[in-house]
Amino acid sequence: MLLTDTHTHLYYETNVENQARLMERCLANQINRLFLPNVDAKSIEMIDNLVKRYPENCFAMAGLHPCDVKEDYMSQLLTIYDSIAGRKIYAIGEIGIDLYWDKTTLQIQQDAFKQQIAWAKELGLPIIIHCREAFDEVFEVLDSERDENLRGIFHCFTGSLVQAKRAIALNFYLGIGGVVTYKKAGLDLVLSEVPIENIVLETDSPYLAPVPFRGKPNESSYLILIAQKIAEIYRVSLEEVAAVTTENSRKVFGV
């Protein structure tokens, strides 16, 4: 069995010994592939250090998180873009729009989003979308940028069935994490109408830990709990969930 965490900030843990313990727990649960979304210029080195320690297991992305789109966003984008030439990355992300924390930056978030979509198309890479209280705004950008090269993952998908179908129609997979284990989330009902071939698994660690760790720091080893919930929803074996979702991740990232 081989499980893939398509979205983890494991690099936030900078203590090498603690990192090693987190990785050991992943490997013990057969979570052997971890994709690392970038959030700002400072996190590039953190990601690269983790990839160097675990080159067979960790895969880098590059991008500016919408919550980090501030007045200096153009210089941040330039630094991130310049870093790509000397590194192996597998996606542009995480990028998108977040109107939960700050609605006043919508215009520059949209601009940063579009610029990074252009990078992805130029490089032939998928995008990893962060969308919080901004489905309409994200879909507006995606519709304007839609072509055969636009593809990727809606990270931490928690939308409606209508939004799920719209994302899938735009050539995106749904990134399903710990929220699927929350009783009142309703995500299980959405997924019951979505083929498993349209989803990938993620933790978004250290955030959004699944039950029974909800409210505590998340870690990639907890992906096994998300996979078990997915197996329950689709009424298939854990091994099949691992096989299908890992194959989906290979289609996205090309590795």
Per-residue pLDDT of the chain (255 residues; tens, 9 = 90+): 999 999 999 999 999 999 999 999 999 999 999 999 999 999 999 999 999 999 999 999 999 999 999 999 999 999 999 999 989 999 999 999 999 999 999 999 999 999 999 999 999 999 999 999 999 999 999 999 999 999 999 999 999 999 999 999 999 999 999 999 999 999 999 999 999 999 999 999 999 999 999 999 999 999 999 999 999 999 999 999 999 999 999 999 999
The CB density around residue 81, as the number of other CB atoms within 10 Å, is: 18
Task: Say which CATH number the domain at 75 has.
Answer: 3.20.20.140
* Distances 2 to 41, 112, 228, 244 between C-alpha atoms, Å: 31, 35, 13, 10
- The neighbouring-strand residues paired with 201 are 176
Total of domains in the chain:
1
What the block records as the tokens of 72 is 């200096």
What residues make up the domain containing 133?
3-253
> Comparing C-alpha atoms, which of 145, 192, 149, 154 is closest to residue 175?
154
pTM for the model stands at 0.97
Question: What gap in Å lies between CA 228 and CA 240, rounded to an integer?
Answer: 11
- Residues in Cβ contact with 54 at an 8 Å cutoff, skipping those fewer than 6 apart: 23, 34
